[in-house]
Structure 1
Amino acid sequence: MSVTRAPVPAPIEHRGRRPSVALYLTVVAALVVPANVVAADLGADAQHPDQGSGLVQLALYGQAVIPAVAALLAWAVARTRPTWGFRRASWRSLGAAWLVGVLAVALSYAGVWLSGAGRFAAAGWSGTWGGLPSMLVVPTGLVMGVLPWMALAVGEELGWNSFLAPRLAARLRADRTALAVGGLWAAFHLPLILLVPGAVPVGVPTLWTAAWFVVECVALAYPLVWLRLRTGSLWPALVLHGSFNAALYLVAEPATRATASTGWFSDEGGLLTSVGTVLAVILTRRLWRVGSDSVGQGRRRPCTRRARRA
């Protein structure tokens, strides 16, 4: 018989001062709000960021590294060596992370297509991946396509899950840590949703998109944070982030033909995307929340008096 183990947070620096969470959050807010104000003032279109000027693209794409910049500054002010979290993670934890991201999108868009909110159109895959046959787009997108999205997620995950999650977990239970990280992660994106044209589908209320986007971020934060704390590694968080975006933007979205109501239900900030994400997180709960991992926690402890006291 064994006890259920609580996640163990990644090591917190002990030399010098501890990096300030308040400083980290202040820097994030101080950079992300002006970036979106500038982007909106210059006429940015979030649907077609590549068509804007160089400054517009810098203001939009540069937001992906703001959490990492804030984390580095907090570490520098505390004169503490950064703890990146780039340590080995088991294939089991990486597979669980990949599955959560893919299943979230699969459930979401199954709902979109079956409800008629959007129409399934496999022909949309023909123009992706340089003319790759449609039957190969899905496996290619869900495997090879994850890698570039992981690279794009590094800047965010270094802030939210290398820096913030372990420090909050030193004071809070894992579930509360996930709730806090998810809420702050969502708030980080709200200036884009509220200020930049194109971030909200035409005809859809901004508050609708913002509210469902918050639900989506908070739901995903649970497996992201639990995997980070349980393994001590950032790799599962990067895989989950990358697999979700790859499944959404390389597979599901190209195969969806829009109807008058698609914007209300699909893409990030859509009702069915959020519902599908919540369902995927619940269905995979045992994969990311409990179970042994070859890195970080070691073997299960026997159910002895000492274990119970621990």
Structure 2
Amino acid sequence: MENPKKHSIKPVLIFLSITLALSAIFYFLIIYSGTLSGGRGQYVMGLMWCPGISALITMKILKRNISDLGWKWGKTKYQYLSYLIPIFYALIAYLAIWVFGLGGFYNKEFVKELTESYGLGPIGNGFTIVLYVILLGIFGTIRSMASALGEEIGWRGFLVPELYKKYGFTKTSLISGVIWGAWHLPILLFADYNSGTSSWYAMSCFMVLIIGISFIYTWFRIKSGSLWTAVILHASHNLFIQNIFTPLTTDTGNTAYYIDEFGIVLPIVGIVFALYYWTKRKKLKLSPNDV
């Protein structure tokens, strides 16, 4: 087996240093404006592209071929699964929230606004919801992938394969998850990237969720050899949770403590999925120190 000691951590440190330096610009702009919608959302888009740009710069510094970032498509079945898995774990979480009354289904005011925006008259709330999910699921995914790509060129294009050479699946999933989650914390703690609960609670739930789903992202990235699995996973996750399941949920009192990426339910489901993909780690190609 290949000796993990020969793989230096220096490329990772270069990448993280550049990412932090570039991200600091957009952290400042977002925090100064106080909202993720600052700059009409362009500050957030800029932040999301910092890891990707940093990866490209790092590859240039290391004199590596940019094609090594995993641009090939790979087997299409992995791309389909990447789209469906976030829908699956989000649906499990939100069904539990709705069934146990932690939040209500559905938000009539949100659906009323959707109906008015479609301009189709009294088409019925059920039809409005279905139409919204279908249209957003198709066209919204394309838009969501544009922003997710910026992060994923860095996180799963560069960082995960680099860590995997040295640490294998389990440690790579944990380390990349901690880094990925921590990168979000400035805007979680000092801007409005949360669902209205206390910062410590939102941060705890968010970090558990991100570390958990990192096992999914790492597994698909290594199994498929394709960066696009992570892009689709990320796009589907953001789209269905932030734009479909959460807006459709009504507040029953303490709903903010259960929904979205900052409530407790999704992290619990995320841990279950993490354990499942951890049990499938031996189906990946061998890597040093894989445990």
Q: Same fold (TM over 0.5)?
A: yes
2:104 alignment partner, SS class: strand
Task: Report which stretch shifted further, 243-252 or 139-148.
Answer: 139-148
Aligned-pair distance for 1:283? 5.3
Task: Report which stretch shifted further, 160-169 or 247-256.
Answer: 247-256
The equivalent of 2:52 in structure 1 is 68
**2:181 alignment partner AA:** A
Aligned-pair distance for 1:85? 1.1
Which of 206, 212, 233 is the equivalent residue of 1:213? Answer: 206
Which of 45, 50, 54 is the equivalent residue of 2:35? Answer: 45
- List per-residue Cα deviations over 1:133-179 (Å, max 9, x = no partner): 32333344334432221221000000001111111111011111111
Supply the distance in 2 between the matched residues of 1:160 and 1:216 (Cα, whole angstroms): 16
Say whether 1:239 aligns with 2:232.
yes
Structure 2 portions without partners, runs of 5+: 3-7, 119-126, 286-291
1:201 alignment partner, SS class: coil
CA contact (8 A) 2:102 2:254 kept: yes
The equivalent of 1:148 in structure 2 is 143
Aligned residue runs from structure 1 range 254-269, under 5 A: 254-269=247-262
Aligned residue runs from structure 1 range 72-221, under 5 A: 72-82=56-66, 83-121=68-106, 123=108, 124-125=110-111, 127-128=113-114, 130-131=117-118, 133-196=128-191, 198-202=192-196, 204-221=197-214
Supply the distance in 2 between the matched residues of 1:135 and 1:20 (Cα, whole angstroms): 46
Which of 16, 19, 28 is the equivalent residue of 1:25? Answer: 16
Aligned-pair distance for 1:118? 1.6
**1:141 alignment partner AA:** L
**1:262 alignment partner AA:** T
**1:256 alignment partner AA:** T
The equivalent of 2:269 in structure 1 is 276
Question: In the superposition, relative to structure 1, how do residues 135 and 189 fare at CA in structure 2: closer, same or farther (>3 Å)?
Answer: same
CA contact (8 A) 2:34 2:190 kept: no
1:192 alignment partner, SS class: helix
Question: In the superposition, relative to structure 1, how do residues 60 and 88 fare at CA in structure 2: closer, same or farther (>3 Å)?
Answer: closer
Supply the distance in 2 between the matched residues of 1:247 and 1:282 (Cα, whole angstroms): 22
TM normalised by structure 1 equals: 0.77
Paired-residue identity, %:
23
Instruction: Flag the structure with higher helix content.
Output: 2
CA contact (8 A) 2:177 2:210 kept: yes
Task: Report which stretch shifted further, 19-28 or 170-179.
Answer: 19-28
Give the number of aligned pairs.
270
**2:47 alignment partner AA:** Q
Question: In the superposition, relative to structure 1, how do residues 60 and 251 fare at CA in structure 2: closer, same or farther (>3 Å)?
Answer: closer
Say whether 1:225 aligns with 2:210.
no
- List per-residue Cα deviations over 1:169-225 (Å, max 9, x = no partner): 1101111111111110001101111111x22333x2101101111111111111111
TM normalised by structure 2 equals: 0.82
Task: Report which stretch shifted further, 180-189 or 233-242.
Answer: 233-242
Task: Report which stretch shifted further, 137-146 or 169-178.
Answer: 137-146
Q: How large is the Cα RMSD of the aligned pairs?
A: 2.9
